A and B are shown apart, each in its own frame.
Chain A
Amino acid sequence: MGPVLAGVLQLLALTAALALVYVPLGTYMARVYTSDRHLRVEKWIYKGIGADPDTRMRWPAYLRAVLGFSLAGVLFLYLLQRLQGVLPGSLGFSSIEPAQAFNTAVSFVTNTNWQSYAGEQAMGPLVQTGGLAVQNFVSAAVGIAVAMALVRGLARTRTGDLGNFWADLVRGTVRVLLPLAFVAALVLVACGVLQNFAGIHEVGQFLGAPQQWNGGAVASQEAIKELGTNGGGYFNANSAHPFENPTPFSNLFEIFLILVIPFALTRTFGVMVGSVRQGWAILATMAAIWVGFVALMMWTEFAHHEGALRIAGASLEGKELRFGVGASSIFAVSTTLTSTGAVDSFHSSYTGFGGGITLLSMMLGEIAPGGTGSGLYGMLILAVIAVFIAGLMVGRTPEYLGKKIGAREIKLAALYILVTPALVLVFTALSMALPTPPHSMLNPGEHGFSEVLYAFTSAANNNGSAFAGLDANTDWYNTTTALAMLLGRFLPMVFVLALAGSLAGQQPVPVTAGTLRTDKPLFAGLLLGAILIIVGLTYFPALALGPLAEGLAS
């Protein structure tokens, strides 16, 4: 069997596994977020928080709780890193400098996990396990919570009630993420991922002096890193490191973990709005983009027609042999089409077009299937835009799921769409225009520009992967990428929750013969077209300067 066929079979196996759990997991999550019972452990947690999980929240209250919780997360994580040098359980590692500590705190709270540090030499077990991994859980739970608020806005009528943030946060953590992460962590340990508290210790080598290893709770963090579409590696090499991703099976399993919740949430959405077919239409659009991009990536990576890769004979620079070109391509597309940013191979050394595909995947807004929760709400915003475009074409007031898409709704959706491109393009332009930021580039020419464009695309879309040649540990990049991450995470959430509030307050419009059916293939096609046109028009000039120029030059 050739590597191309093996790559395709791995894609098919992954698709089959995702299909198998789609209905049970999606339906289970719908039950979790609609149930009015509280588990005993949840009651204890609510008591600890001092919050009543049955209080109904209107959108401003929901938003305030999201922001308050996230702000607390940033402060806590910042302090934890600043104090690492004097806290126990840190292997004697020094405290993190202010700009980098701020960047990292924001990065993990916003579900981005952009890393300007190398984990094994900078972060001790206390920060990794007690700080970073905790945000891996709760930032994912916040994303799902906001998505559930939007779905409730679509499903409910004549009410301001979007649910209760504390209940959504705790349930997402306790009933969805924890049990799945627990099982996943044990599977990963069984494959060979580290899980110990051995600290730094020496291990003999075949020849020469012993190696120094840094042990840690890697598997427990790896599981939630993928499952919560976080992506922050315990080690510098992330999921390319054999201690994070030891075998071809663990590699496919990690891709599965990245995709499973975002895809299944379309089912949750369908169940909650009372029509699973609506969920199918959203799923079909997501899946079409994912499969299409994986196919494109495999094509360009197997063709390997550039410079050093042609001389080498295969696109294996920055890739681990046990995964090969095929599985690395699947990982690269899956991690950038979600808000994960974990990598099992280094995107900077991909072909020019391959690197361009990872960039474009993020530029789509990470909606196919996107981050945990953020993928679903991002795609629903685009669905609103798509029905609006369709409404313009036939001259009818657009509606989605029985809700009128009026001036207020479309303004909020448009604002949502504008946030990330504005952040990406403005910060990239500033970095190119100022005298010192370009010094951080590793590679010359178009690829150097792509490194900067990639950094801000990744930060503003809360992805976290990088063209990692860029030296991002400077005050400029630590500060600007932190701002891009913060604004790219929370401004869209403001618009999503405001939209949810205005949809929930509406009286439903009766379905007539003139209503655009949003549960049909026609609509999935329309949605796909709207996404590609919006993103294409926004980013084409920037892509042309970077990866397109690089890919066409060879």
Chain B
Amino acid sequence: MNNAVSLTARLLGAGLRALLVLTLVTGVAYPLLVTGIAQTAFRSKADGSQITADGRVVGSSLIGQSYLLPLEKGQRTPDADLRWFQGRPANGLGANTVNTRYRLLVSGATNLAADNPVLIRQVEAARAAVVRDNSVPGHPDQVPADAVTSSGSGLDPDISPAYARLQVDRVAARNGLPAARVARLVERHTEGRTLGFMGEPRVNVLELNIALRALTASH
């Protein structure tokens, strides 16, 4: 019995020593070295690909934002600010429930199954909203899937070129711009597949809206 205890203690001791030594290598030296190089060679990317417009930081090109009107009295959820291009729904975005003195952005998906009535209602409501909001002047008959589904992170920065095009008339009307100018803007901000085959074609909503603001200001 004593033998077993001392053997266990010896093994545990060796295990702990090994863990501490390897922690120094993989948990201290490695991340510090990577951070050092990253901060030297790819500073802006390592810090989150922030974008500046009009002299102030307006977010990250990688993180989707919401473009909403301020809450009015008695309203529970704010309305979309239809002057701006809208991103994908983010119904799975979590709230900060631990360490609540922070208001951290908590990423997340809905995790709803395809046959769940809640998801069916969400998709149908989103679809109806897209049709309603964009019905001036041409009626959209085809609502793209990305316009009515929540992404995996809830922070998807992109929409499909089809969804961006669908919003062109509305955005142009609300900003007093010719539709052709806004359509050209969307065209310029459409990114194809990487090397022609990786991922999907997309439009970065934040970058598009920044360009839209500049266009409106100069118009």
Interface residues, chain A, with chain B CB atoms under 8 Å away? 1, 3, 5-6, 9-10, 13, 45, 48-51, 64-65, 67-73, 75-76, 91-94, 117-118, 120-122, 129-131, 133-134, 137-138, 166, 169-170, 173-174, 178, 181-182, 185-186, 189-198, 200, 203-208, 211-215, 217, 219-221, 224, 235-237, 240-243, 246-249, 251-252, 306-309, 311-324, 327, 343-346, 348-352, 355, 442-445, 447, 467-469, 550, 553-554
Contacts and interface: CB of A to CB of B under 8 A. Distances in A.
A200 B102 contact: yes
Interface stretch (B11-19, B132-140, B166-174, B175-183): B11-19
Given A1-B193, A468-B109, A217 B17 contact: no
Chain A CB count within 10 A is highest, among B67, B70, B151, for B151
A118 B108 contact: yes
A10 B197 contact: yes
Interface in B176-200: 193-200
B48 A220 contact: no
Contacts of A122: 98-99
Given A69-B19, A195-B39, A320 B156 contact: yes
Nearest to A206: B58
B84 A323 contact: no
B116 A447 contact: yes
Interface in B123-149: 123-124, 127, 142-146, 148-149
Nearest to A73: B19
A116 B14 CA distance: 30
B34 A10 contact: no
A200 B108 contact: no
B38 A248 contact: no
Given A178-B30, A195-B38, A203-B48, A307 B120 contact: yes
10 contacts: A1-B196, A122-B98, A196-B46, A203-B48, A211-B59, A211-B65, A240-B109, A242-B63, A346-B109, A348-B109
Contact of A205 (B28, B58, B96): B58
Contact of A346 (B124, B145, B152): B152
B152 A318 contact: yes
A447 B111 CA distance: 11
B198 A10 contact: yes
A349 B123 CA distance: 13
A348 B104 contact: no
B151 A318 contact: yes
A476 to B, nearest CB: 19
Interface string B1-43: 0000001100110111111111101111011011101110110
B202 interface: yes
A324 B17 CA distance: 46
Contact of B27 (A131, A214, A345, A467): A131
A319 B116 CA distance: 17
A1 B65 contact: no
Contacts of B111: 318, 346, 348-349, 442-443, 467-469
Contact of A13 (B108, B150, B197): B197
A73 B23 CA distance: 10
Contacts of A352: 113-115
A242 B154 contact: no
A129 B35 CA distance: 12
B22 A138 contact: yes
B162 to A, nearest CB: 10
Nearest to B81: A207
Contacts of B72: none
Given A121-B106, A553-B115, 18 more contacts: A1-B193, A65-B15, A68-B15, A69-B19, A94-B99, A134-B22, A134-B26, A189-B34, A205-B65, A211-B63, A217-B35, A240-B151, A308-B112, A312-B123, A312-B149, A316-B151, A321-B88, A447-B113
A70 B46 contact: no
Contacts of B57: 203-204
A120 B107 contact: yes
Contacts of A192: 45, 49, 62
A146 to B, nearest CB: 15
A140 to B, nearest CB: 11
A352 B37 CA distance: 44
A321 B159 contact: yes
A252 B193 CA distance: 13
A311 B153 contact: no
B112 A443 contact: yes
B60 A203 contact: yes
B116 A129 contact: no
A138 B200 contact: no
B210 interface: yes
A266 to B, nearest CB: 26
A219 B26 contact: no
A195 B81 contact: no
Given A242-B63, A320-B152, A444 B116 contact: yes
A253 to B, nearest CB: 10
Nearest to A318: B109
A291 B151 CA distance: 26
Contacts of A550: 113, 115
Contact of A72 (B16, B96, B206): B16
Contacts of B48: 194, 196, 203, 213, 215, 243
B34 A134 contact: no
A468 to B, nearest CB: 5
A249 B26 contact: no
Contacts of A324: 199-200
Given A307-B114, A319-B152, A554-B114, A50 B14 contact: yes
Contact of A249 (B23, B63, B150, B198): B198
